[in-house]
Each structure stands twice: as structure tokens, then as C-alpha cells.
Amino acid sequence: MKPEKARLPGEVVPTTELWQPTIDLGERLIRIVLVTGFVIVIAVEIWLLFEAFRLWM
């Protein structure tokens, strides 16, 4: 019975294996959010440059 109780922490390892796909999905979501954020920031900066040139001209 004591070796089985020692195997109970070993049962935590499958839960970490279940966490691994969620970590992969989290990394994908973080990359998607970062890429979309950079694209939006770059688009806004280009639009502001055009607006500044139009107002300056």
C-alpha cells in the first residue's frame, strides 16, 4: 500500500502531460496576439504618418 501511495505523486505527471497541450495553445494564442498587435500598431503608425504629412502639407 505504501508503494501505491508513492505512486500517487506519479499520477500528477499525467496531469502535467495534460497541461502541455494547453501550454502549446497558450503559446499559439500569445503569438497570435503579439503578431496582430504588432500589425495593428504598424498600421496605426503608417496611418498617423500619412495624416501628419497631409496636415503638414
List, for residues 18-56, the tens digit of each pLDDT value: 555 566 777 888 999 999 999 999 999 999 999 999 988
Alpha-helical segments (H) within the chain: 2-10, 12-56
- Of the candidates 12, 30, 34, the residue with the CA atom closest to the CA atom of residue 22: 30
Structure-block grid coordinates of residue 17: 502531460
The verdict on pTM exceeding 0.75 is no
What is the per-residue pLDDT for 23?
A: 62
**1 in helix, strand or coil?**
coil
Mean pLDDT of 1-25: 55
Mean pLDDT of 2-28: 58
Distance from C-alpha of 35 to C-alpha of 30, rounded to nearest angstrom: 9
- Reported as a pLDDT band with limits 50, 70 and 90, residue 12 is low
HSE-up of 37 (CA within 13 Å, CB side)?
6
